[in-house]
Amino acid sequence: MSTKVGVPMSAPILADTPWGIGVEVDLHTAIAFGRASVVALQKLSEESRKAVNEALEREAALLEINADPLSRAAAQSVIQQIKEAA
């Protein structure tokens, strides 16, 4: 059984199709909601900030397991969010 998570690097990119455009919009919307939620939770209290940062660190570690460029970029983005909240 593989330890990798996420979408394989060979997944086709269909951004020029209506379906692909919809997926891109949904993705960017989800990212915006996720970032806003993380920022709000980090500002809620010190305990909340610590819990959120620990969860983000676990997610970054899972992304690093994949060892592909997209996963590594995502992991770095997550780590940057933690640093910015400090």
Beta-carbon contacts of residue 64 (< 8 Å; ≥ 6 apart): 71, 72, 75
Higher pLDDT, residue 19 or 76: 76
pTM given for the model? 0.68
pLDDT tens by residue, 64-77:
999 899 999 999 99
Structural domain spans, the chain: 18-85
The structure tokens listed for 17 are: 């199709």
- Contact predicate 82/56, CB 8 Å: yes
